[in-house]
């Protein structure tokens, strides 16, 4: 329902500081980046913000900055720009795996990384890979900037670590160690343009002999939040990712899953396939890491 | 079959440029001076009695011009055929106990119209809906047809939950031959199984919309309709006015698939709002309104019992079927498929049942995709159990005469199957041992065949020529997507012996065009196309007698032929062959090869015909693997309305379909054309299921075959 009898303000601040003051002045406001979720939900009457605060005019939120120790991605940067960025493509192919699955080509031209994260969805396609690669979120608050690991950012479906009046500015990914690579896959009911029923992101680091020295396994859409599963990572670390190790990781992932039954998938199905995906995604990460 | 000059050559649609450049004017592009906007308040409950409805606050809202409810507007909405195609006519309207109004009390499904508002803009109309206070007495509800037949099930109508026919009789649809019971007692092999299909929505691109405008006592209705003549007649009947007091206009529309035949309640509501407000009114459904407020395909439960001899000859087929109709019987609820088999003993009983779900009615081959899925899966299974190749079992047992007694005008089913098997390379792709691949990705092949009505019937056309040898064809067709305007032009050009560019086609307006049968039942090309040929024949005779007109004169010819078939049945035939790849760890099914062979008589326009098969097969993929209007069993709320939640196929879900036509001219219809629009969808769900069985060795029995069901079968 559109609210014909009420009005909704539109603000477009040019700096983070201005954005914070506009947010303080409009407690019922919502941040507008690509709008690919928010505007649709607004049109459907599911969201009724008192104001839209468009953050696309704030330079920090629109930039990708690569340096020797990592890359910082502005929260409002569109999916298409992330997928096209040469350093991101080279260092985090698993992040690109996930980001390029968000919506359609048109959606990717607008939909932002920050929006994907701030939706607080357990099924968000970018979040798993960010967690697997140890990304941190930079959050601007009236009291200053704070940093939160992405695995602590999503608290519950639709709920994030952002306090009222706080703004996600960017996400920082540390440069991967040598022989490190990531991968991401999801399972959806149809073949494209759908939301994950189960997803897995894996990042692994090998030593020069090919032995896995560290692994992070993240499962999505099978719990209220994306879950970093240390047991699955531990099952891979110290192995060559042989079949037995992959099987142990799969069991750990399935054991950690706490899915719900809904119209898109059952508990039993989600629990099973998150294990299968763990094996497959770890194998992809392994082959990528070997090429490094 | 000798080739023709115009008909049979691939021809782009005459309105393609208008459509792709946005110049084509669809119903919701129509803007009239002083036009109001309508919104419909819909029931949030699956079953409830309206104790009271208070519109005082809504009436008082500035800008609100009219409000209709069941109290103000007790108008019967009569569209639909309630028993096997018998139309809801004045007589039925008078006697039926299960009368359906534009606004009903009690309301019997979530989404049923409760009130409608016309206001100066849509925001005011929406606000007005919020100000209407409805006091509901919640009633118990039932969603599934079998549950609705339990003795303690909530009664949706006082007479019970078996849908009545137009004589108020709660009778099932039956077909009997021989003695199936005796055959089951003596046959060496008897097999039984249960199959089910889900409610799938027509999901045409354009949601329902309507613009109504009264000029004195004459209504003009702009509406997307698959039949301007039927819509006109239905509107006149429901409004109690003469047919000529209704003008229906539909120049462009975005798909039909059976969802836009006749008049819909939105048409009626818009017309009544326009009358009440004294101004033109536009109504546009949201996608959700369209999913739950319009009908879809009836879900079914099918219990088969099949008797076979040792050599694989079919001895008896029994079906006990149940169809979920929603709370109003808008179509028959039949389950097709028995007619596919030659069989001495048949016992077919299908019960249409009322449920508290969105209404079920016409959707591309109304009773066939669900029935063919059931019986063709069942027979495929029987073939494997007898260690027979399903193709050989099919050829051995397929019907060669209609109901084993009436000959077809031509019979090419075996040719369709043999050609399909060859193009598909069946002997290489089919696994004699199902599930034999090592995995985890397994391949398999399946097939189904079909026969489908292509009957003749009455329609009309007018053709005119002026002194400049410019021909104008007036046909009451609309283009639901199958290219009727172009096809009618092609037929006229062929019959006249002139290029298509010399023929102007006028369509989609009851004030300008003669009666046409309507774009349903895959019959426009056969029936209206034949009327075009007859009108041209008349015109040519006039031309021979009088010569070309001169000055401002024109020659006009009209034909309304009503050809009949004596002692024969006319059918289209076809066979689909599908190869799938099943990921046995994830349950993902991917179509890796798809061959479709069809006898649709002479093909008028290969370009359009091929895309009809491709589109229909893709729709069948959605029905097979994804689509289901899921209801919450506790609350009776629909959960998956809309293109996204219902998992309508995307481009990546659409298979590459290799289409081949077995062409012929049996001497009927327009140049031998037979039906095509519905044929493609009715084969694919069964073919896909049979291919999945061949790949994994497990038989799936309930549509849609979602990934969790595939994994469940493998567990």
Q: Indicate the CATH number for domain A9-54.
A: 3.30.43.10
- Option in A3, A189, A191 nearest B706 (CB): A189
Cβ atoms B185, B318 nearer than 8 A: no
B707-714 vs B679-696: helix crossing angle, rounded to 10: 30
Q: Would you kindly state where each structural domain of chain A is located, as residue ranges?
A: 9-54, 180-290
Closest approach of chain B CAs to the CA of A64, in angstroms?
31
DSSP B525-583: HHHHHHHHHHHHHHHHHHHHHH-S--TT-EEEEEE------SS-B-EEEEEEEEEEEEE
Using one digit for the tens of pLDDT, what is the confidence trace for B313-350? 999 999 999 999 999 999 999 999 999 999 999 999 99
Is the CB of A2 less than 8 angstroms away from the CB of B121? Answer: no
**Which stretch of DSSP H or E encloses residue B192?**
strand B189-197
Using one digit for the tens of pLDDT, what is the confidence trace for A90-118? 999 999 999 999 999 999 999 999 999 99
Per CATH, B16-23+457-559 and B358-455+567-714 having the same topology is answered: yes
What mean pLDDT do residues B399-418 have?
Answer: 96
- The strand pairing partners of B472, in sequence order, are B464, B504
Is the CB of B640 less than 8 angstroms away from the CB of A263? Answer: yes
The answer to whether the bond into B704 is cis (omega within 30° of 0) is yes
Cβ atoms B527, B515 nearer than 8 A: no
What mean pLDDT do residues B564-593 have?
Answer: 97
Residue bearing tokens 């629990």: A271
% of residues, chain B, pLDDT over 90: 93
Is the CB of B647 less than 8 angstroms away from the CB of A272? Answer: no
Is the CB of A192 less than 8 angstroms away from the CB of B652? Answer: yes
Kindly tell me if the per-residue pLDDT of B81 is higher than 80: no
Pairing of strands A180-187, A167-174: unpaired
- Higher-confidence residue: A193 or B228? B228
% of residues, chain B, pLDDT over 70: 99
- Higher-confidence residue: B155 or B89? B155
Strand extents, DSSP E, A2-49: 9-11, 30-32
**Which stretch of DSSP H or E encloses residue A254?**
helix A243-256
Is the CB of B711 less than 8 angstroms away from the CB of A272? Answer: yes
Phi-psi region of B27 (alpha: psi -120 to 50; beta: other; left: phi over 0): alpha
**Which stretch of DSSP H or E encloses residue B417?**
helix B413-424
Alpha carbons B405 and B346: distance in angstroms, whole number: 13
B265-277 vs B228-239: helix crossing angle, rounded to 10: 50
Kindly tell me if the per-residue pLDDT of B83 is higher than 80: no
Is the CB of B127 less than 8 angstroms away from the CB of A4? Answer: yes
Is the CB of A189 less than 8 angstroms away from the CB of B630? Answer: no
Closest approach of chain A CAs to the CA of B635, in angstroms?
14
What mean pLDDT do residues A207-224 have?
Answer: 97
Alpha carbons B706 and A189: distance in angstroms, whole number: 7
Query: Minimal CA–CA distance to B38: which of B289, B274, B253, B294?
Result: B274
Query: Minimal CA–CA distance to B334: which of B194, B455, B173?
Result: B173
Is the CB of A192 less than 8 angstroms away from the CB of B651? Answer: yes
- The strand pairing partners of B26, in sequence order, are B252
For residue B706, give the chain A residue with the closest CA.
Answer: A189
Is the CB of B647 less than 8 angstroms away from the CB of A190? Answer: yes
Is the CB of A189 less than 8 angstroms away from the CB of B122? Answer: no
pLDDT at B87: 64
Instruction: Quote the tokens at residue B74.
Output: 């007790």
Query: Minimal CA–CA distance to B157: which of B329, B296, B297, B299?
Result: B329
Cβ atoms B557, B538 nearer than 8 A: yes
Using one digit for the tens of pLDDT, what is the confidence trace for B434-444? 999 998 999 99
Strand extents, DSSP E, A120-237: 136-141, 144-149, 154-156, 159-160, 167-174, 180-187, 198-206, 212-220, 227-228
For residue B653, give the chain A residue with the closest CA.
Answer: A191
CA distances from B459 to B476, B565, B583 (A): 9, 15, 50
Alpha carbons B21 and B16: distance in angstroms, whole number: 8
- The strand pairing partners of A125, in sequence order, are none
Kindly tell me if the per-residue pLDDT of A281 is higher than 70: yes
Instruction: Quote the tokens at residue B206.
Output: 């354009």
Q: Does A7 touch chain B (CB under 8 A)?
A: no
Cβ atoms B434, B699 nearer than 8 A: no
Alpha carbons B155 and B110: distance in angstroms, whole number: 16
Query: Minimal CA–CA distance to B675: which of B448, B447, B456, B366?
Result: B456
What mean pLDDT do residues B58-62 have?
Answer: 98
CA distances from B346 to A60, B174, B320, B333, B371 (A): 75, 10, 11, 19, 15
Q: Indicate the CATH number for domain B16-23+457-559.
A: 3.30.365.10
Kindly tell me if the per-residue pLDDT of B468 is higher than 70: yes
Those of residues 253-292 in A touching chain B at CB distance below 8 A are 263, 265-266, 268-269, 272-273, 276-277
**Complex-level ipTM:** 0.92
Alpha carbons A273 and B708: distance in angstroms, whole number: 9
Q: Would you kindly state where each structural domain of chain B is located, as residue ranges?
A: 16-23+457-559, 31-139+210-255+260-293, 358-455+567-714
CA distances from B284 to A167, B113, B289, B453 (A): 39, 14, 9, 34
- Option in A4, A190, A266 nearest B708 (CB): A266
Burial B617-632 (b: 16+ CB within 10 A, else e): bbbbbbbbbbbbbbbe
Taking residue A27's Cβ as centre, other Cβ atoms within 10 Å add up to: 10
Q: Which class for B52: exposed (0-12), middle (13-18), buried (19 or more C-beta within 10 A)? A: exposed
CATH superfamily of B31-139+210-255+260-293: Aldehyde oxidase/xanthine dehydrogenase, a/b hammerhead (3.90.1170.50)
For an interface test with B, the pick among A40, A189, A268 (most B C-beta atoms closer than 10 Å) comes out as A189
CA B71 to chain centre: 33
Q: How confident is the model at residue A6 (pLDDT cuts 50, 70, 90)?
A: low
Q: Which class for B512: exposed (0-12), middle (13-18), buried (19 or more C-beta within 10 A)? A: middle
Lateral strand order in the sheet of B503-506: B503-506, B471-474, B461-466, B554-559
Over chain B, what is the mean pLDDT? 96
Cβ-Cβ contacts under 8 Å between A and B: the total is 64
Is the CB of A269 less than 8 angstroms away from the CB of B653? Answer: no
Cβ atoms B295, B259 nearer than 8 A: yes
What mean pLDDT do residues B667-691 have?
Answer: 96
CATH 3.30.390.50 is right for the domain spanning A180-290: yes
Cβ atoms A187, A256 nearer than 8 A: no
For residue B586, give the chain A residue with the closest CA.
Answer: A273
Number of H helices, E strands in chain B: 18, 24
Q: Does A200 touch chain B (CB under 8 A)?
A: no
Quick one: DSSP state of residue B126? H
Q: Does A105 touch chain B (CB under 8 A)?
A: no
Closest approach of chain B CAs to the CA of A276, in angstroms?
7
Please state the three-class secondary structure of B472-532 as a single string. EEECCCCCCCCCHHHHHHHHHHHHHCCCHHHEEEECCECCCCCCCCCCCCCCHHHHHHHHH
CATH 3.30.300.30 is right for the domain spanning B358-455+567-714: no
Alpha carbons B331 and B86: distance in angstroms, whole number: 9
- Structure-derived torsion over alpha carbons of residues B525, B526, B532, B533, reported in degrees to the nearest 10: 130
Q: Which class for B669: exposed (0-12), middle (13-18), buried (19 or more C-beta within 10 A)? A: buried
Alpha carbons B696 and A40: distance in angstroms, whole number: 41
Distant-in-sequence, close-in-space partners of A20: CB < 8 Å, separation ≥ 6: A140, A141, A142, A165, A167
Residue bearing tokens 């998992």: B647
Using one digit for the tens of pLDDT, what is the confidence trace for B507-524? 999 999 999 999 988 999
Distant-in-sequence, close-in-space partners of B564: CB < 8 Å, separation ≥ 6: B456
Closest approach of chain A CAs to the CA of B634, in angstroms?
14
- Option in B586, B639, B711 nearest A263 (CB): B639
Kindly tell me if the per-residue pLDDT of A223 is higher than 90: yes
C-alpha neighbours within 13 Å on the C-beta side of residue B508 = 21
Instruction: Quote the tokens at residue A125.
Output: 């396609």
What mean pLDDT do residues B637-661 have?
Answer: 93
Q: How confident is the model at residue A1 (pLDDT cuts 50, 70, 90)?
A: very low
Q: Which class for A59: exposed (0-12), middle (13-18), buried (19 or more C-beta within 10 A)? A: exposed
């Amino acid at each position: 329902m559109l609210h014909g009898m009420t009005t909704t303000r539109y603000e477009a601040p040019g700096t983070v500081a201005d954005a914070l003051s506009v947010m303080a002045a409009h407690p019922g406001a919502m941040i507008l980046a690509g709008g690919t979720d928010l505007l649709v939900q607004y049109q459907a009457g599911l969201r009724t913000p008192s104001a839209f605060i468009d953050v696309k005019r704030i330079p920090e939120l629109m930039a990708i900055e690569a340096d020797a120790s990592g890359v910082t991605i502005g929260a409002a940067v569109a999916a298409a720009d992330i997928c096209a960025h040469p350093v991101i493509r080279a260092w985090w192919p698993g992040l690109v795996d996930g980001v390029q699955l968000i919506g359609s080509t048109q959606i990717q031209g607008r939909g932002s990384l920050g929006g994907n994260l701030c939706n607080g969805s357990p099924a968000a396609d970018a979040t798993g890979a960010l967690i697997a690669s140890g990304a941190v979120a930079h959050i601007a608050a009236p009291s200053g900037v704070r940093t939160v690991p992405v695995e602590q950012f999503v608290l519950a479906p639709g709920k994030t670590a952002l306090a009222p009046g706080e703004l996600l500015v960017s996400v920082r990914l540390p440069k991967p160690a040598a022989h490190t690579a990531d991968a991401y896959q999801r399972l959806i009911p149809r073949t494209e343009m759908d939301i994950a029923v189960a997803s897995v992101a894996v990042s692994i680091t090998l030593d020069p002999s090919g032995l896995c020295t560290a692994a992070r396994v993240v499962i999505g859409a099978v719990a209220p939040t994306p879950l970093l599963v240390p047991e699955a990572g531990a099952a891979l670390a110290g192995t060559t990712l042989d079949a037995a190790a992959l099987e142990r990781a799969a069991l750990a992932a399935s054991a950690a899953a706490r899915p719900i039954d809904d119209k898109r998938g059952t508990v039993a199905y989600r629990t099973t396939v998150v294990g299968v995906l763990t094996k497959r995604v770890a194998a992809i990460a392994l082959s990528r890491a070997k090429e490094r | 079959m000798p080739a023709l000059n115009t008909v049979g050559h691939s021809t782009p649609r005459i309105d393609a440029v208008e459509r792709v450049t946005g110049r084509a004017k669809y119903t919701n592009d129509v803007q009239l001076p002083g036009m109001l906007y309508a919104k419909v308040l819909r029931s949030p409950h699956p079953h409830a009695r309206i104790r009271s409805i208070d519109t005082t606050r809504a009436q008082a809202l500035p800008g609100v011009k009219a409000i209709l409810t069941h109290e103000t507007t007790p108008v019967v909405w009569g569209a639909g055929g309630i028993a096997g195609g018998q139309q809801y006519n004045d007589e039925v309207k008078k006697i039926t106990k299960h009368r359906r109004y534009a606004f009903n009390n009690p309301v019997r499904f979530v989404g049923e119209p409760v009130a409608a508002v016309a206001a100066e803009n849509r925001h005011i109309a929406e606000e007005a809906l919020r100000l209407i206070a409805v006091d509901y007495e919640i009633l118990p509800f039932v969603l599934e047809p079998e549950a609705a037949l339990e003795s303690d099930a909530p009664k949706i109508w006082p007479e019970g939950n078996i849908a009545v026919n137009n004589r108020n009789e709660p009778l099932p649809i039956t077909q009997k031959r021989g003695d199936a019971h005796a055959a089951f007692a003596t046959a060496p092999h008897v097999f039984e199984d249960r199959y089910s299909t889900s409610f799938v929505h027509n999901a045409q691109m354009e949601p329902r919309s309507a613009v109504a405008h009264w000029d004195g006592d004459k209504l003009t209705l702009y509406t997307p309709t698959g039949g301007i003549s039927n819509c006109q007649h239905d509107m006149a009947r429901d409004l109690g006015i003469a047919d000529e007091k209704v003008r229906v206009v539909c120049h462009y529309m975005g798909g039909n698939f059976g969802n836009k035949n006749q008049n819909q309640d939105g048409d009626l509501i818009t017309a009544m709002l326009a009358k009440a407000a004294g101004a033109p009114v536009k109504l546009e459904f949201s996608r959700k309104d369209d999913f739950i407020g319009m009908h879809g395909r009836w879900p079914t439960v099918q219990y088969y019992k099949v008797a076979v001899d040792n050599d694989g000859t079919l001895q008896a087929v029994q079906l006990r079927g149940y169809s979920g109709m929603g709370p109003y019987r808008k179509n028959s609820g039949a389950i097709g498929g028995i007619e596919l088999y030659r069989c001495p003993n048949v016992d077919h009983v299908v019960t249409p049942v009322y449920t508290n779900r969105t209404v079920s009615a016409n959707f591309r081959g109304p009773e066939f995709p669900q029935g063919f899925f059931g019986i063709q899966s069942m027979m495929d299974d029987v073939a494997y159990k007898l260690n027979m190749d399903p193709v050989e079992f099919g050829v051995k047992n397929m019907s060669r005469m209609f109901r084993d007694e009436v000959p077809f005008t031509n019979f090419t089913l075996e040719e369709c199957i043999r050609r399909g098997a060859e193009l598909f390379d069946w002997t290489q792709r089919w696994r004699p041992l199902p599930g034999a691949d090592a995995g985890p990705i397994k391949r398999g092949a399946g097939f189904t065949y079909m026969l489908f009505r292509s009957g003749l019937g009455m329609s009309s056309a007018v053709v005119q020529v002026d002194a400049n040898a410019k021909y104008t064809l007036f046909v009451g067709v609309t283009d639901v997507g199958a290219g009727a305007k172009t096809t009618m032009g092609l037929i006229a050009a062929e019959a006249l012996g002139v290029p298509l560019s010399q023929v102007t086609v006028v369509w989609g307006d009851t004030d300008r065009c003669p009666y046409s049968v309507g774009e349903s039942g895959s019959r426009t090309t056969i029936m209206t196309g034949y009327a075009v040929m007859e009108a041209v024949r008349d015109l040519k005779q006039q031309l021979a007698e009088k010569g070309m007109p001169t000055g401002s004169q024109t020659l006009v010819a009209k034909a309304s032929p009503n050809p009949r078939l004596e002692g024969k049945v006319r059918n289209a035939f076809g066979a689909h062959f599908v190869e799938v790849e099943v990921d046995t760890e994830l349950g993902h099914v991917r179509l890796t090869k798809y061959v479709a062979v069809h006898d649709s008589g002479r093909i008028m326009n290969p370009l359009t015909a091929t895309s009809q098969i491709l589109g229909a097969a893709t729709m069948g993929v959605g029905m097979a693997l994804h689509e289901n209007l899921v209801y919450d069993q506790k609350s009776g709320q629909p959960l998956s309305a809309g293109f996204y939640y219902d998992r309508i196929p995307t481009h990546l879900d659409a298979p590459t379909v290799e289409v081949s036509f077995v062409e012929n001219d049996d001497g009927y219809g327009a140049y031998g054309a037979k039906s095509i629009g519905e044929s493609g969808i009715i084969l694919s769900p069964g073919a896909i299921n049979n291919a999945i069985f061949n790949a994994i060795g497990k038989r799936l029995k309930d549509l849609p075959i979602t990934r969790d069901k595939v994994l469940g079968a493998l567990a």
